[in-house]
């Protein structure tokens, strides 16, 4: 036992000695790297003190942190170049010069979503008093860079408490604490709300509009999403209210009209079945609107009145009707489904009977299957709202005012960045013609002329 214990101690000591030698070797390599930093690479008007070997070593080791240090180094060099441009080279007499160097002062530049400390060179007038501001230094501070960076990171899932951990901090970075990030997000998200509220909508024709609401801590955010003639999705606007009532819905649609949304053209409105939304659409568009009830919402409402054992049969019957290409046959199948539901649950039958024809609007318009599948549900706007729910899932305390509005707008703009054209967009001209036929049906005289 003694021999084993002593051998273990000796083995441990030799291991420690090997580690110390390895650390000393690494220290010598780092010292050599620091020494090679004195070499100079000519980058035109700026001299960057980095050798090729040192650059390659540091890039392979810590690219991110090195890039930030490199940015700070460049910032300092650019500022010194600006001073040289104004004052001339150091220690050279220049008769008639207008500016002179005036030392340095602690300052900062905005870099990698943070405020990084730098030594700011100072310049004063050669004759007279007063310090000269450096335009380059003011540009490097970029007061809008921090709010925008905070907005992007927060809507991607980073809380204000964890923001500092995901930022690649420079050696003396500051301005990324929780309070600073929170103020930056408030400023940036308020800008997002303003952007949505000022968007002009008179530059494009919208063939369809999706309307839905999402609940934020006891209040409702009503969101409108439009489909253009070429199939692009665009967030039109949002409105905050205590509930999804007709007044809030009408106020949102009237605001869209004031911002240029053409309500004189026919449109397809896809909604979740809310009576308030239906009333608001009819009030703004009148007879020029065709309403499509979301088939998924309708099916869920019916399933809520049925035992689970009947859900599969219900889905089979509804899918058979909603995938029909002939409106009359689809309606007949839904009427048959209503009679079947009456034997199981009168409430389920009443749920299907209410707004039944509005679930067949895309079938009645005669749209191709790919486009009909897209416009038969509120999935396009639901996917955008799911991102806002993900963003707001970290909020533990909702404050009064426009906090809900700001968070929702930030999430929607984040979702809009990932929007793609809808499936079946090539058939949108057929939707435009079908909507026009519904508003202006052919007369008997036109049939005679065509015959």
pLDDT in tens, 365-388: 999 999 999 999 999 988 888 877
The residue among 213 and 296 whose pLDDT is bigger is 296
pLDDT at residue 211 greater than cutoff 70? yes
Q: Quote helix, strand, coil % in the chain, to nearest 5.
A: 55, 15, 25
Average pLDDT of the residues in 73-93 = 75
pLDDT at residue 430 greater than cutoff 80? yes
Query: What is the DSSP secondary-structure string of 285-304?
Result: HGGGEEEEE-HHHHHHHHHT
The alpha-helical segments, DSSP class H, found in 286-402 are 295-303, 311-322, 327-344, 346-353, 361-364, 369-375, 379-392
The residue among 375 and 95 whose pLDDT is bigger is 375
The residue among 193 and 177 whose pLDDT is bigger is 193
The order of strands in the sheet holding 233-241 is 233-241, 219-228, 206-216, 267-271, 289-293
Domains annotated for the chain, with CATH where assigned, are: 30-144 (no CATH), 205-439 (3.30.420.40)
Q: Which helix (H) or strand (E) holds 61?
A: helix 52-61
The Cα 151–Cα 185 span in angstroms is 5
What pLDDT does residue 73 have?
Answer: 64
Could you tell me if 306 and 312 are in contact, meaning their C-beta atoms sit under 8 angstroms apart?
no
Average pLDDT of the residues in 268-279 = 90
The residue among 410 and 311 whose pLDDT is bigger is 311
Average pLDDT of the residues in 217-236 = 89
Could you tell me if 349 and 268 are in contact, meaning their C-beta atoms sit under 8 angstroms apart?
no
What pLDDT does residue 29 have?
Answer: 54
pLDDT at residue 240 greater than cutoff 90? no
The residue among 404 and 279 whose pLDDT is bigger is 279
pLDDT at residue 341 greater than cutoff 80? yes
Highest mean pLDDT among 181-190, 366-375, 395-404: 366-375
pLDDT at residue 226 greater than cutoff 90? yes
The residue among 348 and 399 whose pLDDT is bigger is 348
pLDDT (tens digit per residue) in 104-157: 878 877 765 567 777 888 887 877 777 888 877 777 666 554 445 544 544 454
Could you tell me if 36 and 51 are in contact, meaning their C-beta atoms sit under 8 angstroms apart?
yes
The Cα 69–Cα 30 span in angstroms is 16
pLDDT at residue 67 greater than cutoff 80? no
Lowest mean pLDDT among 99-103, 238-242, 328-332, 446-450: 446-450
What pLDDT does residue 164 have?
Answer: 46
- Coil, helix or strand at residue 222: strand
pLDDT (tens digit per residue) in 248-271: 889 999 999 999 999 999 999 999
The residue among 187 and 158 whose pLDDT is bigger is 187
The residue among 283 and 28 whose pLDDT is bigger is 283
């Amino acid at each position: 036992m003694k021999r084993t214990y002593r051998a273990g101690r000796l083995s441990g000591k030799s291991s420690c000695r090997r580690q110390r030698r390895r650390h000393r070797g690494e220290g010598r390599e780092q010292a050599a790297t620091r020494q090679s930093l004195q070499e100079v690479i000519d980058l035109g008007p700026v001299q960057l003190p980095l050798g090729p070997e040192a650059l390659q070593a540091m890039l392979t080791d810590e690219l991110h942190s090195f890039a930030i240090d490199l940015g700070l180094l460049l910032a300092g060099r650019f500022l010194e170049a600006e001073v040289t441009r104004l004052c001339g080279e150091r220690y050279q007499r220049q008769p008639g010069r207008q500016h002179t160097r005036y030392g340095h002062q602690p300052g900062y530049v905005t870099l990698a979503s943070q405020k990084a400390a730098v030594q700011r060179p100072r310049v004063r007038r050669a004759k007279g008093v007063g310090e000269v501001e450096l335009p380059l230094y003011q540009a490097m501070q970029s007061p809008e860079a921090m709010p925008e960076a905070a907005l992007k990171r927060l809507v991607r899932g980073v809380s204000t408490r964890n923001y500092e951990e995901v930022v690649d901090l420079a050696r003396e970075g500051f301005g990324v604490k929780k309070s600073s990030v929170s103020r930056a997000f408030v400023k940036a998200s308020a800008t997002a709300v303003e952007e949505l509220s000022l968007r002009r909508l008179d530059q494009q024709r919208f063939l369809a509009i999706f309307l839905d609401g999402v609940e934020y801590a006891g209040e409702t955010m009503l969101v409108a999403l439009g489909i253009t003639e070429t199939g692009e999705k665009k967030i039109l606007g949002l409105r905050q209210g205590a509930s999804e009532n007709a007044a809030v819905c009408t106020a949102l649609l009237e605001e869209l009209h004031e911002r240029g949304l053409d309500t004189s053209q026919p449109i397809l409105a896809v909604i979740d079945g809310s009576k308030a939304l239906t009333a608001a659409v009819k009030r703004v568009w009148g007879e020029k609107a065709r309403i499509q009830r979301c088939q998924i919402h309708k099916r869920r409402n019916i399933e809520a009145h049925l035992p689970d054992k009947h859900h599969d049969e219900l889905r089979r019957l509804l899918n058979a009707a909603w995938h029909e290409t002939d409106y009359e046959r689809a309606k007949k199948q839904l009427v048959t489904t209503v009679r079947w539901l009456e034997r199981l649950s009168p409430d389920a039958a009443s749920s299907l009977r209410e707004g039944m024809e509005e679930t067949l609007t895309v079938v009645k318009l005669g749209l191709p299957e790919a486009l009909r599948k897209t416009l038969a549900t509120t999935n396009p706007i639901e996917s955008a709202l799911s991102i806002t729910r993900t963003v707001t899932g970290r909020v533990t305390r909702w404050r009064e005012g426009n906090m809900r509005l700001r968070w929702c707008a930030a999430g929607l703009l984040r979702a809009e960045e990932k929007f793609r054209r809808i499936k079946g967009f090539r058939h949108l001209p057929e939707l435009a013609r079908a909507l026009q036929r519904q508003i202006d049906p052919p007369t008997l005289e036109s049939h005679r002329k065509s015959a």
